[in-house]
Amino acid sequence: MHDRHPSAGGNSSRDAPYQSLSQIPEGTHAVEEVLDAEMDVEDMEDSMLEEVSHPPPPAGRIRWIHFLLGCAVLLPWNVMITATPYFISRLEGSPLRSTFSSWLSTTFTFANFFALAYATATSKKVSSASRVRWTTLCLAGLTFLLTVSTYLHLPAGLFFAFVLLNGVAQAIAGSFLQTSVVAIASLFGPTVMQAVMSGQAAVAIVVSLVQVISAGTSLHTSGGEMIMVSDGSAEEKSAWAFFGLSTLFLVACTGANVMLTRTPEYHAVVAPIDESWTRRLSGELGEQRPLVSPDAPAGFADTKKRILRIARSNVLFEVAVAYVFVVTLSVYPPLTISVQPTNPGIAPLLFSSMHFLVFNIGDFLGRYLCSYPRLLVWSAKRLSVLSACRTLFIPLFLACNIQRDPSLPSKSPLINSDFLFMLLLVIFGLSNGYVSSLCMMSAGSLEHNPRLKGRREDVDIAATVASFCLVGGLVVGSMMSFGVRAAVCGCNPFKE
């Protein structure tokens, strides 16, 4: 599962029959030609791998540090999403309440997408380790502001704007953190990348568990008569707990990053790549300079061309990982949070908190499955099929006990069981974590992705571009959530 360095005979691999696949065919039948070519690529994989050698496996501490950094990458998103009940409780009686979830996911993912585009394009201009350091500290400050908000009671409109702006700022900082962590992890190999992906899911479980415990405790201390109708105090106490813990954790991640940069493994694996790109940008590697327009710096032009070349060769992995999150964000959480318990004895706040925890447990299990070699799928075509099959979850969630507009005719849900809804969420989360992790592990693997042709200097770029496409899927999915909501409520989803 580990990345391999090109052997002395690595140059011969560039004359292999599949060299032409580095360019996407143009014309009406471009997609068909790429799909047909996939069979040739995968048939030639064994001969490709014979010319690549193994690096030493990464130490356990490297995987654990990246596990923590993976937690930090998705912590902002999970904090904002998991705190949705608290945010909604502050908007009680406002017309902004019903559309808040969709607006939150849309603004967050749009900011994440455009910031990630810039972060990807400039990833070689700044040390990844330094980016990790300043972004984690920035995120800690933003999360601390959310902690302070639990003590303040702002007007609904002002609170709405504050949360969205805070989310946008976290999305921007998180984009730079994500590109840096993914770039470093990809150089250590698929096992470290899997640790990052598992960390992203693990933090969601911890945050959700804190919310469930806080919600249960708050409801218990509020008295039995307050279980079904909350005045917002329970949500406020729950939010304060996980906002505060998140702030402390992000500060700890800054320290973990400092530890990473002092390890001999970091200096042996990451430092040489950084130095190579520094020389390239400084003009010491100027053999391609005559091919570049004088209007643009040579280093930037070379980087852009390299990114586009790698993106074209890895297009199936990138589309597959993007579509995973198109499906996920179209229903989770804007639609799933609208599902009400069929058991009248279950508090809606606790049910909502449990639904986040159940999804995140499934997501973590899916990512953890990728640590077992027998369960790994490296084929781009098979991963694309698995990604497309997740579309079936959309109508299944629409068939659950969704809270609809009282003015609309009532309908008995096809899935009228809390257990079945939670089971569906587990499978939904498991498939999300499993397929997305496989796509990310495959895209930057020298051992299992022959499209990289043994070029170790392309590994971190391939992983970063795949990460960018992942966020692109989040953007499209969040936009689709408005359409899904319109189908449920029969209203204008941007206003109601």
Strand 52-53 relative to strand 5-6, pairing:
antiparallel
The answer to whether position 233 is within a domain reads: yes
164: Cβ–Cβ under 8 A, 6 or more apart, which residues?
A: 103, 104, 107
pLDDT of 276 reads 60
Give yes or no for residue 226 having a pLDDT over 60.
Answer: no
Q: Is residue 29 part of a domain?
A: no
Amino acid at 94: S
The verdict on residue 427 lying in a domain is yes
The token pair at 121 is: 């394009």
> Under the phi-then-psi rule, with left for phi > 0, alpha for psi from -120 to 50, and beta for the rest, what region is 283?
left
| Section 224-249 average pLDDT | 72
Residue numbers of the domain that contains 177: 52-278+297-489
> For the packed helices 418-443 and 380-389, what is the interaxial angle rounded to 10 degrees?
160
Does some domain include residue 455?
Answer: yes
Tokens of 85: 């009940």
- Looking at residues 248-263, what average pLDDT do you find? 92
**What's the CA dihedral at 227, 230, 231, 236 to 10 degrees?**
100
- For the ranges 18-27, 300-309, 383-392, the lowest mean pLDDT is seen at 18-27
Query: pLDDT (tens digit, 9 = 90+) per residue, 265-299?
Result: 888 888 776 666 555 555 544 444 444 444 445 55
Q: Which region among 45-49, 93-97, 102-106 has the lowest average model confidence (pLDDT)?
A: 45-49
Within-domain flag for 28 = no
Q: What is the per-residue pLDDT for 230?
A: 54
In a domain, 223, yes or no: yes
333 preceded by cis ω (within 30°)?
A: yes
Domain holding 426: CATH number?
1.20.1250.20
Total count of domains within the chain: 1
What integer is the mean pLDDT of 336-352? Answer: 87
Q: What's residue 17's pLDDT?
A: 44
Q: At what angle do helices 348-369 and 60-82 cross, to 10 degrees?
A: 150
- For 312-438, strand residue ranges (E) read none
Q: Is residue 7 part of a domain?
A: no
Residue 360 is assigned to a structural domain of this protein: yes
